[in-house]
A = this chain, B = another copy of it.
Amino acid sequence: MFPVQGKSGLIISSKEAVRKMGINYFNRDDRDLKFVLFEQLDLSKILSYEAYRDFSEEDFGMIIDEALKVCRDVLGPANQDGDREGCLYQDGDVKVPASFHDCWRVMAENGWIGASSNPEFGGQGLPSVVGGIVGELFSGANMAFETYPGLAVGNGRLIEHFGTEEDKALFVEKMYTGVWGGTMCLTEPDAGSDVGWLRTKATPDPDAGDPRVYKIEGTKRFITCGDHDLTENIIHLVLARIEGAPRGTKGISLFIVPKIRVNPDGSLGEPNDVFCGNIEHKMGIHGSPTCTLNFGENGKCRGILLGEPQSGMAKMFQMMNEARMGCGVQALGIAASAYDAVRQYAKERVQGPPFTNRDSDRVPIIQHEDVRRMLMNLKAGTEAMRAVIGRLFYQIDVAFNDPDEATREAAGLEVELLTPMVKAYFSDFGYELVRDAIQVMGGVGYCSEFPVEQYARDIKIVSIWEGTNYIQALDLVGRKLGMKGGSVFQNWIQEIMAFTSDHKEDQDYARDFKLLYKAAQATADFALRFMTYFKEGKARLIPLSAVHFLNCFAETLMAYQMLRQGLIAREKLAGVAPDSSDGFFYRGKIETVKFFCRNIVPNVFGRHTILEQEDTSAVDIPEQAF
């Protein structure tokens, strides 16, 4: 099992930690992570579940410490390397940055790849809520690298859920333990957001002697980690249409397509006619190859049908939903690393006096009011994201493990409601926060010697992949708002209303509860309008404002979680010395909660005014005017 249970431990020589080129800036302060895990969330509930009974809070603390160590010693030092060196495409093969090989080895040997995966297949069986926090750390230390294990595990989970016993035995453990990599093959040169139009085809392969084996033929594009030299094999999960299947997403099936064929005994067979045609040159995540994959150019590519024919999209959606939550974790991870980098810098960099004391000597720029404002954007923004991520992953554990069916269902619905928001809002917000981080550093922030410009380039992809942010907004408005006749969303609004009503006279946060109340009202009004738009033939207002709605929903939700944290912090503060380390943390949390409510939540009201205009100029304008 895990290092805390004495398996292999994390033995990382100092040699491994010294990299050729890059500087290691990873420096996460874990206090807020532990606050979320141990103070905000009720872990006793999770620990009471059958699957997690062998863990203790202490285990989780040690796991986080170990994860931090891996980030500091292994992943972090490889982050700038990976960006500078990038991936190399040569004669059909992709080479990853040199330092990534050590990263992979350490992650695999210590069980980090399948940290939250099923122990039956070599996973470590951690609760999702711990996995989410560890994921923030790994993504924050080296987002490009984290794509490789992330895809291997996501892939393995899909085979675990939908594969036959044989599939499971052949593939899953190898993917959870870092022996093989994995990919999701959806996009094609002519089918992106409209994946239903894909052209990759599958035809029965009578030579294979197994009716589940098909010949695969087609080209996939933008395949993350589509080829690399980290593992001896890569298991592609490929969406394709079986000849004769209906058009659109309904006719799509899912296939397991190994790069190297796998013999029934698990050994590697012949190459499977899958070739990488090229890799993209990109804005960021240079260490993660984005590949064009050609399947069956020589008519010899075999894929194993996963589950029933024509159920491919539904299956892929399970993976995609996990990946979407993962996007939120990535955005948080990067933004939090940007915050770490600049809070450190702001404490050290001395420049002129602050605005309110022009005659003073020079001071560290953290004493400059506007720098403080930007640092608070980063602090409040990342802490609010983390509060939501904590809640989301906690609810995943509840949804899968709670003995009470109604509790499981409610948790599952909450997860569904929050997923598109976490993916879309966090990625856009994270991009903005990294912009602020660059601004805190000034000219230095623009230079590649320092980490934040890379963060800006790396994080940008998150708003695009796993379904663009607009697709998330449509998912929220079109599917999630209406779940259970709208009651899931309504309950959520009512919960906030009750919460604000309980605390409207709060001595510290009265103003903040009022802002949250108004934000929830505005968000609810948005949702109501969407329903009337459908009825009143104003449907085109929906896609024009769905993104605004998602953003309002997100800020309301984050404020809600932040105020919960604020109440906890106040209570805890009463029990510690104000100038102790914990005292500073809780005092900081209280101010951070106020900052979030007073400086970020008001954006909701601006957007609500936009909504009130019911403006259709964007679709009224003639196309020729563009």
List chain A positions with a Cβ less than 8 A from chain B: 187, 190-194, 196-197, 221-222, 280-284, 290, 343, 346-347, 350-352, 354-356, 362, 366-370, 372-373, 375-376, 379, 428, 431, 435, 438-439, 442-443, 445-449, 453, 456-457, 460-461, 463-465, 468-470, 473-474, 511, 515, 539-540, 542-544, 546-547, 584-585, 587-589, 591-592, 594-595, 598-599, 602-607, 609-610, 613, 615, 617-626
Give the residues in chain B near A355, CB-CB below 8 Å: 474, 539-540, 542-543
Whether B615 pairs with A594 at a CB distance below 8 angstroms is: yes
Find A607's partner among B594, B606, B624 (CB 8 Å cutoff): B606
Whether B442 pairs with A373 at a CB distance below 8 angstroms is: no
Task: Please give me the residue from chain B that is nearest to A365 by CB atom.
Answer: B193
Whether B372 pairs with A448 at a CB distance below 8 angstroms is: no
Whether A351 pairs with B543 at a CB distance below 8 angstroms is: no
Q: How far is the CB of A351 from chain B (nearest CB, A)?
A: 5
Q: How far is the CB of A6 from chain B (nearest CB, A)?
A: 36
Check A463/B449 contact, CB under 8 A, given A595-B615, A595-B617: no
Q: How distant is the Cα of A395 from the Cα of B608 in the complex, in angstroms?
A: 36
| Cβ contacts A to B, 5 pairs, < 8 Å | A194-B362, A280-B449, A282-B447, A431-B435, A606-B609
Tell me what chain A mostly uses at the interface: helix, strand, loop, or mixed.
Answer: helix
Whether B603 pairs with A617 at a CB distance below 8 angstroms is: no
Number of copies: 2
Q: How distant is the Cα of A180 from the Cα of B341 in the complex, in angstroms?
A: 40
Find A592's partner among B350, B362, B544, B617 (CB 8 Å cutoff): B617
Whether A626 pairs with B447 at a CB distance below 8 angstroms is: no
Task: Please give me the residue from chain B that is nearest to A626 by CB atom.
Answer: B343
Whether A456 pairs with B283 at a CB distance below 8 angstroms is: yes
CB-based closest 9 A-B pairs: A588-B625, A606-B606, A194-B352, A369-B543, A283-B453, A602-B609, A591-B621, A598-B615, A598-B613
Whether A543 pairs with B352 at a CB distance below 8 angstroms is: no
Give the residues in chain B near A624, CB-CB below 8 Å: 584, 588
Whether B192 pairs with A351 at a CB distance below 8 angstroms is: yes
Q: How distant is the Cα of A622 from the Cα of B369 in the complex, in angstroms?
A: 13
